[in-house]
Chains A and B, each alone.
Chain A
């Protein structure tokens, strides 16, 4: 049996947020929500787990710092411990102040870029990726909620959604 989805379109973010709470209370399953801008508190209302990108970024930053330390220690202290303008290249720590700027920059570089790449990979964003929002108005001023209608009475579900303030309701057959 083909599964069915209902697309409920709202024209207001507050209305949407309210509707999400009602839909979840009524134990309907929200498939996905498409919004034109970040609606504050929507991820909590839908029950999304917090993202761990910040943790990833922290780890990438530590990686960057290690790369900087290992690189400069090898090049300046191990490989060619030369006297350049009287700078003390005896050990890493004796000439450390000179290395701070690059240690800092590489930390930021790794933390920023690897986190952004992680974000693009996790959210599946890439240059030739096809957009997946079902209605083009969801990037303009409409808010679309997908609800799994399989095993539900479509009439009742649409009536329920109208009562939550949906402006348009569509039944989609997933082939």
Chain B
């Protein structure tokens, strides 16, 4: 039998004693269960911000760009700052799914789905700005080389702003199909697991009839690999082209050949910071700490350290070259003595502190593995990278070659409102995504379970590399229903069966023998479940029970409303002890009454 050699030095990427089925249940849980109050609160806030931003956009377009704080000297400020900021954030998603796929990094699998979602939603926000910052956005279609009645008047392919159009639309569309193709097997899993007819229909449509044949998987993997190979240069080229908006100009501080790689590094830096911000919250909210582990957070912090280091080197290079060039104009660029002491010194120092100083703390292992500190650093980087773009754009424009046109910039509430609106829109999309999409690529995580799962790593540590990793040697792989069928099969009886109640399969819960005895006593009182003659009830109809809790209830042997009806106060205390995150009384209400009602329905 194939052995899975894996260096023992590697920490597990999937903690807890997971089986394939557990992965389906836990990834499906946020989608198949109900949203909690926090979700609705946050969603409402995001929606309000979005609607406010929408109002600001409508106001801008219908009244004129003059409602923004731009002036004749500074024609680009918050609009393009936000554009570059959002595009930059979008880069981590493709980096995680494409570049890390090419490097065969297994840890990407738990984070790639959400990172790609983040990419798509961030690029959507970015895509708004090139349109709304136009003076006449209703003529935006003129940027496309479409044959027309003006003697076929074409566009000018020399302009980086046109390259942007091609770059951003290619990036968005390719990221979208990459993401969607990866989602097919996961949508199929939801389609086959849900009991809700409406959901079945929706996920049936979304999954494109995915059936998981060998040939499908072979093509699927090839397509993923080729797309990764295409997306990697794409992600580098997109931000390169965005940087050309500045680098190909003649503005001192913009005209710099370091911009393409430096912008890309900055994009990955800020993108990973945003991934950290989102995932640290998400893993907690949807209970996926076993998949997005501390190790994942540490790895991402290391990428942040690397790209932050590259960005820092670029800062120093810019600063040095500004001085070394001997050009007097270079003294007013965003990284120069002039900037450090001039009217925008606060922005200069905000950039240095947020992007250069604070991320250095991640060199300390203790801080790198500290979730709260990671979260703070990620937020600081998001702010810092916004300032980097603001500094590049506004400081460089504010003091150009002619002192008579020197000016300052201050934003109006519309500038700020539009930016807040895009943040709101981003979170609206992301929150909807987290409730309706499988947020972890479960099909991919299943492929690394045996090589990187904690349970299998422990098995290998104990028995060597050649231990057969079959489900039958894994007592947690089956629910009682499966165990009984097993006896009919020619596989022989399950050696792991103890003398305890046969319907209890609580090893995955990590409980003591005493607790198992208590469970046996409880089941003797409330009755047991016989999968051969009875059908399990849908326990998810009880208040506070989602797919994961239902699985836990099955593990302790509770399958039917009849059993729930007979639960006593002591039983609830025992369940609270045994089951992690068992709902408190306020959240579950009176299960006994609910079960009676459901039973009589």
Contacts and interface: CB of A to CB of B under 8 A. Distances in A.
Nearest to B223: A119
A171 interface: no
A18 B469 CA distance: 12
Contacts of A14: 1-2, 450, 468-470
B218 interface: yes
B158 to A, nearest CB: 5
Interface string B188-218: 1101110000000000111111111111111
Among B157, B178, B188, B234: residue with most chain A CB under 10 A: B157
A103 B442 CA distance: 37
Nearest to B468: A14
A76 interface: yes
Interface of B: 1-2, 19-21, 24, 145, 152-158, 160, 162-163, 166-167, 170, 173-174, 177-178, 181, 184-185, 188-189, 191-193, 204-223, 225-227, 230-231, 233-234, 237, 240-241, 244, 442-444, 446-447, 450, 468-472, 477-478, 482, 485-486, 489-491
20 contacts: A11-B472, A11-B477, A34-B212, A53-B223, A54-B226, A76-B154, A80-B153, A105-B234, A108-B170, A116-B177, A120-B208, A123-B219, A123-B220, A125-B208, A131-B207, A133-B192, A138-B211, A141-B19, A165-B470, A167-B485
Contact of B189 (A36, A124, A127): A36
B470 A38 contact: no
Interface of A: 11-15, 17-18, 32-40, 42-43, 46, 48, 50-51, 53-54, 57, 71-72, 75-76, 79-80, 84-85, 87, 95, 98-99, 101-102, 104-106, 108-109, 111-113, 115-116, 119-120, 122-133, 136-141, 159, 162-163, 165-168
Nearest to A46: B214
B214 A119 contact: no
- CB-CB nearest 7 A-B residue pairs: A129-B209, A141-B20, A136-B192, A162-B490, A125-B208, A75-B154, A101-B163
Contacts of B468: 14
B145 A71 contact: yes
A51 B221 CA distance: 10
Among A33, A37, A48, A132: residue with most chain B CB under 10 A: A37
Contact of B213 (A34, A76, A136, A137): A34
A55 to B, nearest CB: 10
Contacts of B213: 32-34
B158 A53 contact: no
Contacts of B177: 112-113, 116
A105 B237 contact: yes
A101 B170 CA distance: 12
B145 A101 contact: no
A109 B217 contact: no
B219 A37 contact: no
Contacts of A48: 214-215, 218
B45 to A, nearest CB: 33
Contacts of A159: 490
Contacts of A112: 174, 177-178, 227, 230-231, 234
A42 B223 contact: no
A54 B458 CA distance: 39
A154 to B, nearest CB: 16
Nearest to A98: B158
A36 B441 CA distance: 12
A85 B158 contact: yes
A120 B208 CA distance: 9
Nearest to A54: B226
Contact of B489 (A36, A87, A167): A167
A46 B214 CA distance: 8
Contacts of B181: 116, 119
Given A79-B152, A109-B170, A131 B215 contact: no
A167 B21 CA distance: 15
Given A116-B227, A123-B215, A79 B154 contact: yes
A14 to B, nearest CB: 5
Contacts of B24: 36, 139-141
A117 to B, nearest CB: 9
Contacts of A75: 145, 154-155, 157
Contacts of A71: 145
